[in-house]
Amino acid sequence: MNISDYLCKEAVILGLNAASSEEVIRELGGKLHDQGFVKEDFIEAALEREANMPTGLPLGGEYNAAIPHVDIEYVNKSALGLATLKDDVVFYNMVEDDVEVPCRLVIMLALDKPKSQIEMLQSVATVLQNPEIIQNLVHAKTTEEIFEILS
Amino acid sequence: MAKTVIVSCGTGIATSTVAAKAIEEACKAAGVAVITKQCKGQEIPELLKQGADLIVTTSTMRFDPGIPVVKGLAFLTGIGIDEVVKEILDILKD
Protein backbone atom coordinates (compact mmCIF):
# COMPACT_ATOMS: atom_id res chain seq x y z
CA MET A 1 0.00 0.00 0.00
CA ASN A 2 1.47 3.29 -1.10
CA ILE A 3 0.36 6.77 -0.22
CA SER A 4 0.00 7.43 -3.94
CA ASP A 5 -2.93 4.99 -4.05
CA TYR A 6 -4.90 7.37 -1.85
CA LEU A 7 -3.47 10.67 -3.01
CA CYS A 8 -6.03 12.71 -4.96
CA LYS A 9 -4.13 14.29 -7.85
CA GLU A 10 -6.53 17.23 -7.98
CA ALA A 11 -5.66 17.86 -4.32
CA VAL A 12 -1.92 18.16 -4.89
CA ILE A 13 -0.90 21.82 -4.67
CA LEU A 14 2.69 22.81 -5.32
CA GLY A 15 4.36 25.96 -3.99
CA LEU A 16 1.21 27.27 -2.34
CA ASN A 17 1.63 30.86 -1.29
CA ALA A 18 -0.23 30.82 2.02
CA ALA A 19 -0.07 33.22 4.93
CA SER A 20 -1.64 30.95 7.52
CA SER A 21 -2.47 27.36 8.36
CA GLU A 22 -6.13 28.27 7.89
CA GLU A 23 -5.45 29.22 4.27
CA VAL A 24 -3.67 25.91 3.64
CA ILE A 25 -6.49 23.90 5.20
CA ARG A 26 -9.13 25.82 3.22
CA GLU A 27 -7.25 25.24 -0.06
CA LEU A 28 -6.62 21.54 0.46
CA GLY A 29 -10.03 20.85 2.00
CA GLY A 30 -11.67 22.72 -0.87
CA LYS A 31 -9.94 20.51 -3.44
CA LEU A 32 -10.95 17.33 -1.59
CA HIS A 33 -14.49 18.66 -1.40
CA ASP A 34 -14.54 19.50 -5.12
CA GLN A 35 -13.68 15.86 -5.81
CA GLY A 36 -16.41 14.61 -3.47
CA PHE A 37 -14.13 12.97 -0.92
CA VAL A 38 -15.25 15.11 2.01
CA LYS A 39 -18.45 16.74 3.17
CA GLU A 40 -19.36 20.39 3.13
CA ASP A 41 -18.45 20.91 6.81
CA PHE A 42 -15.09 19.13 6.59
CA ILE A 43 -13.14 22.38 6.28
CA GLU A 44 -14.75 24.04 9.30
CA ALA A 45 -14.21 20.85 11.31
CA ALA A 46 -10.57 20.67 10.23
CA LEU A 47 -10.02 24.32 11.18
CA GLU A 48 -11.60 23.81 14.58
CA ARG A 49 -9.58 20.67 15.17
CA GLU A 50 -6.38 22.42 14.15
CA ALA A 51 -7.11 25.29 16.57
CA ASN A 52 -7.82 22.95 19.50
CA MET A 53 -5.61 20.00 18.69
CA PRO A 54 -2.95 21.01 16.21
CA THR A 55 -1.18 18.58 13.87
CA GLY A 56 2.26 20.12 13.31
CA LEU A 57 5.17 17.66 13.43
CA PRO A 58 8.79 18.72 13.92
CA LEU A 59 10.71 16.29 11.71
CA GLY A 60 14.26 17.15 12.70
CA GLY A 61 15.32 17.85 9.12
CA GLU A 62 15.24 20.98 7.00
CA TYR A 63 11.46 20.94 6.67
CA ASN A 64 8.57 20.12 8.98
CA ALA A 65 5.10 18.88 8.10
CA ALA A 66 1.54 19.08 9.35
CA ILE A 67 -1.14 16.43 8.89
CA PRO A 68 -4.57 18.03 9.36
CA HIS A 69 -7.43 15.53 9.76
CA VAL A 70 -10.82 15.16 11.45
CA ASP A 71 -13.40 12.60 12.55
CA ILE A 72 -14.79 10.16 9.99
CA GLU A 73 -18.25 11.76 10.04
CA TYR A 74 -16.98 14.57 7.78
CA VAL A 75 -15.58 12.21 5.17
CA ASN A 76 -17.28 10.43 2.25
CA LYS A 77 -14.34 8.39 1.04
CA SER A 78 -10.74 8.10 2.21
CA ALA A 79 -8.26 10.27 0.37
CA LEU A 80 -5.13 12.32 0.87
CA GLY A 81 -4.34 15.86 -0.20
CA LEU A 82 -0.83 17.28 -0.28
CA ALA A 83 0.48 20.82 -0.43
CA THR A 84 4.02 22.08 -0.61
CA LEU A 85 4.29 25.65 0.62
CA LYS A 86 6.24 28.50 -0.94
CA ASP A 87 7.37 29.62 2.50
CA ASP A 88 7.09 28.13 5.97
CA VAL A 89 3.64 28.46 7.52
CA VAL A 90 3.22 28.18 11.28
CA PHE A 91 1.29 25.21 12.61
CA TYR A 92 1.44 24.14 16.25
CA ASN A 93 3.03 21.02 17.71
CA MET A 94 0.66 18.08 18.01
CA VAL A 95 1.82 16.96 21.44
CA GLU A 96 2.81 20.39 22.85
CA ASP A 97 0.22 22.71 21.44
CA ASP A 98 1.87 25.96 22.54
CA VAL A 99 4.99 25.28 20.47
CA GLU A 100 5.18 26.68 16.94
CA VAL A 101 6.22 24.40 14.09
CA PRO A 102 7.07 26.16 10.81
CA CYS A 103 5.88 23.75 8.12
CA ARG A 104 6.70 23.49 4.42
CA LEU A 105 4.67 20.37 3.69
CA VAL A 106 1.05 19.61 4.54
CA ILE A 107 -0.56 16.21 4.07
CA MET A 108 -4.29 16.31 4.67
CA LEU A 109 -5.85 13.01 5.70
CA ALA A 110 -9.47 12.21 4.99
CA LEU A 111 -10.34 8.90 6.67
CA ASP A 112 -13.73 7.23 6.27
CA LYS A 113 -13.33 4.37 8.75
CA PRO A 114 -11.69 4.21 12.18
CA LYS A 115 -8.39 2.32 12.32
CA SER A 116 -9.00 0.68 8.94
CA GLN A 117 -6.39 2.64 7.05
CA ILE A 118 -3.50 1.38 9.13
CA GLU A 119 -1.33 0.66 6.09
CA MET A 120 -1.97 4.08 4.62
CA LEU A 121 -1.30 5.73 7.97
CA GLN A 122 1.89 3.74 8.40
CA SER A 123 3.07 4.78 4.94
CA VAL A 124 2.41 8.39 5.86
CA ALA A 125 4.52 7.87 8.99
CA THR A 126 7.24 6.22 6.89
CA VAL A 127 7.35 9.28 4.64
CA LEU A 128 7.45 11.63 7.62
CA GLN A 129 10.40 9.68 9.03
CA ASN A 130 12.49 10.07 5.88
CA PRO A 131 14.03 13.58 5.59
CA GLU A 132 15.19 12.86 2.04
CA ILE A 133 11.65 12.06 0.85
CA ILE A 134 10.34 15.17 2.61
CA GLN A 135 13.01 17.25 0.90
CA ASN A 136 12.21 15.74 -2.51
CA LEU A 137 8.50 16.38 -2.02
CA VAL A 138 9.09 20.01 -1.05
CA HIS A 139 11.30 20.52 -4.10
CA ALA A 140 9.06 18.68 -6.58
CA LYS A 141 8.06 20.75 -9.60
CA THR A 142 5.16 18.67 -10.91
CA THR A 143 2.32 16.54 -9.56
CA GLU A 144 3.77 13.58 -11.49
CA GLU A 145 7.02 14.00 -9.56
CA ILE A 146 5.08 13.88 -6.27
CA PHE A 147 3.45 10.62 -7.33
CA GLU A 148 6.78 9.15 -8.40
CA ILE A 149 8.39 10.03 -5.06
CA LEU A 150 5.52 8.43 -3.14
CA SER A 151 5.20 5.28 -5.27
CA MET B 1 -1.57 -10.33 33.44
CA ALA B 2 -1.55 -8.15 30.38
CA LYS B 3 -0.82 -4.47 30.87
CA THR B 4 -3.25 -1.91 29.54
CA VAL B 5 -2.04 1.05 27.53
CA ILE B 6 -4.38 3.87 26.59
CA VAL B 7 -3.26 5.30 23.27
CA SER B 8 -4.81 8.67 22.61
CA CYS B 9 -4.76 11.25 19.86
CA GLY B 10 -6.97 14.07 18.61
CA THR B 11 -9.48 11.90 16.77
CA GLY B 12 -8.77 8.45 18.23
CA ILE B 13 -8.53 6.98 14.73
CA ALA B 14 -5.44 8.27 12.96
CA THR B 15 -2.15 8.89 14.71
CA SER B 16 -3.09 6.68 17.69
CA THR B 17 -3.57 3.83 15.21
CA VAL B 18 0.05 4.10 14.14
CA ALA B 19 1.24 4.43 17.74
CA ALA B 20 -0.88 1.53 19.04
CA LYS B 21 0.35 -0.81 16.32
CA ALA B 22 3.98 0.10 17.05
CA ILE B 23 3.49 -0.34 20.80
CA GLU B 24 1.93 -3.77 20.28
CA GLU B 25 4.83 -4.84 18.08
CA ALA B 26 7.48 -3.52 20.46
CA CYS B 27 5.84 -5.24 23.44
CA LYS B 28 5.49 -8.49 21.55
CA ALA B 29 9.19 -8.37 20.64
CA ALA B 30 10.05 -7.73 24.30
CA GLY B 31 7.72 -10.46 25.57
CA VAL B 32 5.41 -8.03 27.39
CA ALA B 33 1.70 -8.87 27.23
CA VAL B 34 -0.21 -5.71 26.41
CA ILE B 35 -3.70 -4.52 25.53
CA THR B 36 -3.99 -1.17 23.76
CA LYS B 37 -7.12 0.97 23.88
CA GLN B 38 -7.36 3.81 21.40
CA CYS B 39 -9.29 6.95 22.14
CA LYS B 40 -9.57 10.71 21.78
CA GLY B 41 -7.89 12.83 24.42
CA GLN B 42 -11.21 13.76 26.04
CA GLU B 43 -12.19 10.08 26.35
CA ILE B 44 -9.20 9.25 28.57
CA PRO B 45 -11.03 9.83 31.92
CA GLU B 46 -13.71 7.32 30.93
CA LEU B 47 -11.12 4.67 30.00
CA LEU B 48 -9.15 5.34 33.19
CA LYS B 49 -12.14 4.12 35.19
CA GLN B 50 -11.61 0.67 33.69
CA GLY B 51 -7.97 0.75 34.81
CA ALA B 52 -4.80 1.31 32.82
CA ASP B 53 -1.05 1.16 33.38
CA LEU B 54 0.13 3.82 30.97
CA ILE B 55 -1.05 6.51 28.57
CA VAL B 56 0.78 7.11 25.32
CA THR B 57 -0.48 10.23 23.62
CA THR B 58 0.17 12.02 20.35
CA SER B 59 -1.95 14.99 21.39
CA THR B 60 -1.47 17.52 24.18
CA MET B 61 -2.44 16.23 27.65
CA ARG B 62 -4.69 18.70 29.43
CA PHE B 63 -4.79 17.09 32.87
CA ASP B 64 -2.85 14.82 35.20
CA PRO B 65 -4.31 11.32 34.85
CA GLY B 66 -2.47 9.93 37.85
CA ILE B 67 -0.69 7.23 35.82
CA PRO B 68 2.47 7.54 33.69
CA VAL B 69 2.17 9.46 30.42
CA VAL B 70 4.56 9.06 27.50
CA LYS B 71 4.51 11.42 24.51
CA GLY B 72 4.24 9.28 21.39
CA LEU B 73 5.10 11.67 18.59
CA ALA B 74 8.17 9.53 17.88
CA PHE B 75 5.92 6.86 16.41
CA LEU B 76 5.07 9.35 13.66
CA THR B 77 8.32 11.24 13.22
CA GLY B 78 10.80 8.54 14.17
CA ILE B 79 12.74 11.05 16.26
CA GLY B 80 13.92 9.46 19.50
CA ILE B 81 11.90 6.31 18.82
CA ASP B 82 14.32 3.94 20.60
CA GLU B 83 14.21 6.02 23.78
CA VAL B 84 10.41 6.21 23.71
CA VAL B 85 10.05 2.45 23.22
CA LYS B 86 12.49 1.84 26.08
CA GLU B 87 10.58 4.25 28.32
CA ILE B 88 7.32 2.45 27.56
CA LEU B 89 8.79 -1.02 28.14
CA ASP B 90 10.44 0.07 31.39
CA ILE B 91 7.09 1.31 32.73
CA LEU B 92 5.21 -1.81 31.63
CA LYS B 93 7.82 -4.21 32.99
CA ASP B 94 7.55 -2.78 36.53
CATH number of the domain that residue B86 is part of? 3.40.50.2300
- A148 found inside a domain: no
Domain count, chain A: 1
pLDDT in tens, A22-59: 999 999 999 999 999 999 999 999 999 999 999 999 99
**How many Cα atoms occupy the beta-carbon half-sphere of A74 within 13 Å?**
20
- Closest approach of B60 to chain A, Cα-based (Å): 4
β pairing state of A64-66 and A56-57: antiparallel
pTM for this predicted structure = 0.95
B77, A60: Cβ pair inside 8 Å?
yes
CATH number of the domain that residue A128 is part of? 3.40.930.10
Domain range spanning residue B25? 3-93
- A151 found inside a domain: no
Q: What is the CA radius of gyration of chain B?
A: 12
Among A148, A118, A110, A142, smallest CA distance to A31 is for A110
pLDDT in tens, A90-148: 999 999 999 999 999 999 999 998 766 788 889 999 999 999 999 999 999 999 999 99
- A147 found inside a domain: no
ipTM: 0.90
Q: Of B43, B76, B83, which to mutate for an interface test with A (greatest number of A Cβ within 10 Å)?
A: B76
B13, A49: Cβ pair inside 8 Å?
no
Among A73, A79, A60, A36, smallest CA distance to A135 is for A60
- A10 found inside a domain: yes
Domain count, chain B: 1
CB contacts of A94 in chain B (<8 Å) are: 10, 15, 58-60, 73, 76
Residue B8 sits at the chain A interface (C-beta within 8 Å): no
B60, A72: Cβ pair inside 8 Å?
no
Q: Which of B18, B59, B78 shows the shortest C-beta gap to A95?
A: B59
- A47 found inside a domain: yes
Catalytic, B9? Answer yes
Domain range spanning residue A93? 3-142
Q: What is the pLDDT along chain B (94 residues), one digit of tens a residue?
A: 899 999 999 999 899 999 999 999 999 999 999 999 999 999 999 999 999 999 999 999 999 999 999 999 999 999 999 999 999 999 999 7
A125, B76: Cβ pair inside 8 Å?
yes
